[in-house]
Amino acid sequence: MAVDENTRNQVGRRLRLGMVGGGQGAFIGAVHRLAARMDDKYELVAGALSSDPERARASAKELRIAPDRAYGSYREMAAAEAARDDGIDVVAIVTPNHVHFAAAKAFLEAGIHVICDKPLTTTSADAAGLVALVQETGLVFGLTHNYTGYPMVRQAREMVKKGDLGKIRVIQVEYAQDWLSTKIEDTGQKQAEWRTDPARSGAGGCIGDIGTHAFNLAHFITNLELESLSADLTTFVDGRQLDDNVHILMRYQGGARGMLWSSQVAPGNENALRIRVYGEQAGLSWSQEDPNYLHFTKLGEPPQLITRAGSGSGEIAGHASRVPPGHPEGYLEGFANIYTDVAEVISARLENRDPNSMATTYPSVEDGARGVVFIEAAVRSSSDNGQWVEVSAGQ
């Protein structure tokens, strides 16, 4: 089949990336930029890097973004980039939570693909609006639940999918940190300030910041839909406006049961995301702080240790790995795998070809909506003394 000139010009080029948020003083913006560049799939060419126009321009200068593509607002950026022949292909939204919806909506309506940090939005109504808009436009939307990019997490997902564990019975997942054990939001610590502010974070504190990661990880690996939950959201630090510790009992469709604990007031824990999944025939466990190994045990048999890109791992883990086993890969590479997979899907469209099937497992706008529904259900349950709350099947 003949290839037209436009398609030929798209083959192999870097995607033009814009960024909203992530300017001076922001932690996560630098992480996203590193992830985007790791596999050389993107070039950062435009940005609205702060809600303060002066700081936005100063941040753009530091990142060598041309002055005419350093914007004072995301709305200005969406309109201007959509009108350029060399406009951005995709935008990364790395702002506090309360900006996600309006920014994503603006770029989708401008015909620009979106990569958005989690949680998707601060309300389920807004989340449903983005799902509908993505379906209407047909644009690519990736959500950076970065732990789904880890090779051993994808290996675990594949093993569950193949039936290696049998029917799933029990899911135990936890995410514990200690950095908010005191009221550091009062000291001017920027990351703590917005995460504990309901106007910027939404109705959930710890549950929205890290509890959603734990919830998403359980769904990603098992593909089970949550049916109902009973939640206890606690604020231990005096004067804090949002929860800093979460305990949740979960009932999944099909009969599986789960427990989720997330805490940001657990001394001795830095970034302790862990999951255990047990089925009728076998169980597995994975820890984010030791991410290159997956523990797997068949009922009545000795435990097995599956290593990243090594013993026992499969093609899906190999797709997400860059270096031989024994060389650690982790947080940045997990982020990069999502960026690279999104790039593959967008590039395949530009080049009029099918994408690599292993690049289509990144979290979607629907996953984001599922997470917001989870947050709201947990908040309702906890406010009603832990009463069981049904979770919408449609999510």
The string of pLDDT tens digits covering residues 183-222 is 999 999 999 999 999 999 999 999 999 999 999 999 999 9
Q: Mean pLDDT of all residues in the chain?
A: 95
Tell which residue, 263, 248, 269, 255, has the closest CA to residue 210: 263
N-to-C CA span, the chain: 42
pLDDT of residue 1: 44
Residue 152 has phi, psi (to 5 degrees) of -75, -25
DSSP state letter for 119 = S
Would the pLDDT of 390 be above 60? yes
pLDDT of residue 313: 86
Question: Which tokens is 339 given?
Answer: 């960026």
Q: Which CATH superfamily is domain 5-146 in?
A: NAD(P)-binding Rossmann-like Domain (3.40.50.720)
Dump pLDDT digits (tens) for 115-144. Answer: 999 999 999 999 999 999 999 999 999 999
Q: Cα–Cα distance between 344 and 351 in angstroms, integer?
A: 10
**Second CATH level (architecture) for the domain 150-325+368-390:** 2-Layer Sandwich (3.30)
The stretch 335-358 carries a mean pLDDT of 96
pLDDT of residue 5: 54
Dump pLDDT digits (tens) for 285-313. Answer: 999 999 999 999 999 999 999 999 887 88
DSSP secondary structure, 29-93, as one string: HHHHHHHHHHTT-EEEEEEE--SSHHHHHHHHHHTT--GGGB-SSHHHHHHHHHHSTT--SEEEE
Tell which residue, 194, 153, 68, has the closest CA to residue 333: 153
Task: Tell me the residue length of the chain.
Answer: 395
Domain boundaries, the chain: 5-146, 150-325+368-390
DSSP state letter for 146 = G
Residue 5, Cβ density class (10 Å: 0-12 exposed, 13-18 middle, ≥19 buried): exposed
pLDDT of residue 28: 93
Would the pLDDT of 165 be above 60? yes
Strands 113-116 and 90-93, bridge-based pairing: parallel
pLDDT of residue 6: 63
Strands 257-263 and 168-176, bridge-based pairing: parallel
Asked whether the beta carbons of 169 and 257 are under 8 A apart, the reply is: yes
pLDDT of residue 203: 94
Would the pLDDT of 326 be above 50? yes
Q: What is the pTM of this model?
A: 0.94
Name the H helices within the chain: 5-10, 27-38, 53-62, 74-83, 100-109, 124-137, 151-162, 190-195, 198-201, 206, 212-222, 315-319, 331-350, 365-383
